[in-house]
Amino acid sequence: MTSGIVVRKGDWLSATVDGELVMMNAETGNYITISRVGGRIWEMIEQSMTVDQICSRLVDEFDVAPEVCRADVQRFLDEMVDNKAITIEESPPE
Amino acid sequence: MVTDHSHLHGWTPVAFLADPEPRIVWADLRGQRFDQPFFDHIASKRHVDAGHLATEVTDLSALHALDATPSLDPTLIVAQSARCGSTLLVRLLATMDGVVTVSEPEILSKLFLHGLRNPESAATHDVLREIVRGFGRLRFGDEKIYVLKLSSSMTRFLPQFRRAFPHSPMVWLQRSPIEIVESEMRSPGAWIGFDPQGGGDLAALVLKKTTVTFLAARAHVTDDMLVLDHRDLPDSVWTTLAPWLGLSLSRTDISRMEQCASYDSKSGEPFVRRQRLAMPNAVHDIVRQILNPIHDELGRRRDKRKPLQESGAIG
């Protein structure tokens, strides 16, 4: 869902340790550790953002080919959905 | 068809199996006092002493069926940061007559790991309550006080324990974060999950796990909990914790605790002075920026505590 809107979900506490973001869900107790790039995505989606917008920003900020970036972002977002940290909603029709 | 579980009266739930469906392993620990530093050593000790350990596996309905057996709810739940003297605290309380102590039972970790896969399940709440009460069975008839000590990884689930036992007072025991990290790096506990052959970064792993614990503590250590610090042990057990719980200690009780405290709480040997590890600056930086503020904020509550009776937490 490349044009989906990524929205944070749940009450997460976090801290950056050794370059990685340690996150704990205050409601369920689940915790995950995400990489520096994942941490940057988490920071970006503090305000809801489409998948396209996330990829576009990362390509600007990091030395990565657009198609590699998209595949990595999709994989990351899928894991975050599995961990109930985000939802991806359909964009409203224009 | 209703299964009769009456033959399991007096048995203890010792393990949780998640697959293919949730089940409980019961062990016959009748006649065995719960007096080991860690609960899971009790079954091992029984196995060694008796030459065998009788066990039976049931579905979860046995927990509910046996819950009507006379049992104690926890008189005190101890939550802790790791490497903070919690084993000592529990051993001191265990010197009093009528005290049952259950420390860091692995069955609870397995329950929550399974429960995370089904976070909406109300059954996890019921199962938690029935397992914890399973440890608190009146097996000898002289049990009056039941102390449940949680592992530091259970700090994330304090709300679930609070919902299961709303009338059980909780204490948070912590220690200076740099001392916790130094202790874990000197001898990593199994919960850290460090594989010496795996080539990983022990410091990073310890820092991450400790960070999760303190993040959880910041979220879940509430104002009605007593906060104690490692540096105040052992005296705070009889000067602060016992009065807070409304326990009246005799001079003999305190002498017994002082005697017990003169030994290392895990091995029973007299305290051995250990060499401290030097920590890299990067570790100190993370401790200072992330962990110390949480530790200090929780520590400020040490001076604001009210006796349980005054706070209305117990009748």
Residues of A within 8 A of B290 (CB-CB) are 15-17
- Using CB atoms and an 8 Å cut-off, which of residues 166-195 of chain B contact chain A? none
Do B210 and B224 touch, CB atoms closer than 8 A? no
pTM of the model: 0.88
Q: What is the pLDDT of residues B73-97, one digit of tens each?
A: 999 999 999 999 999 999 999 999 9
Position A30 confidence tier, pLDDT thresholds 50, 70, 90:
confident
B289: DSSP letter: I
Q: Chain B: give the shortest CA distance to residue A25, in Å.
A: 8
Amino acid sitting at position B71: S
Cβ neighbours of A1 (radius 10 Å): 13
Kindly provide the residue ranges of all beta strands, DSSP E only, lying in chain B, ordered along the sequence.
Answer: 12-17, 23-27, 55-59, 76-80, 99-103, 145-149, 170-174, 226-229
Q: What is the pLDDT of residues B233-271, one digit of tens each?
A: 999 999 999 999 999 999 999 999 999 998 755 555 555
Nearest to A18 among B160, B207, B218 (CB): B207
The interface predicted TM-score of the complex, written ipTM, equals: 0.79
Q: What H or E segment, with its residue span, contains residue A8?
A: strand A5-8
Q: Map residue B215 onto helix, strand or coil.
A: helix
Furthest CA-CA distance within chain A:
42
Residues of B within 8 A of A32 (CB-CB) are none
Tokens 């009790």 map to which residue?
B42
Tokens of B135: 């440890």
Task: Identify the pLDDT of residue B314.
Answer: 35
Do A11 and A26 touch, CB atoms closer than 8 A? yes
Task: Identify the pLDDT of residue B94.
Answer: 93
Q: What is the pLDDT of residues B89-123, one digit of tens each?
A: 999 999 999 999 999 999 999 998 777 666 556 67
Mean pLDDT of chain B: 86
Residue of B192 and B315 predicted with greater confidence: B192
Q: Chain A: give the shortest CA distance to residue B176, in Å.
A: 18
DSSP symbols for B160-189: HHHHH-TTS-EEEEE--HHHHHHHHHHS--
Determine the Cα–Cα distance for residues B121 and A83; give it in Å rounded to an integer. Answer: 16
Q: How does B232-257 read in b/e, with b if 16+ C-beta sit within 10 Å?
A: ebbebbbebbbebbebebeeebbebb
Position B40 confidence tier, pLDDT thresholds 50, 70, 90:
confident
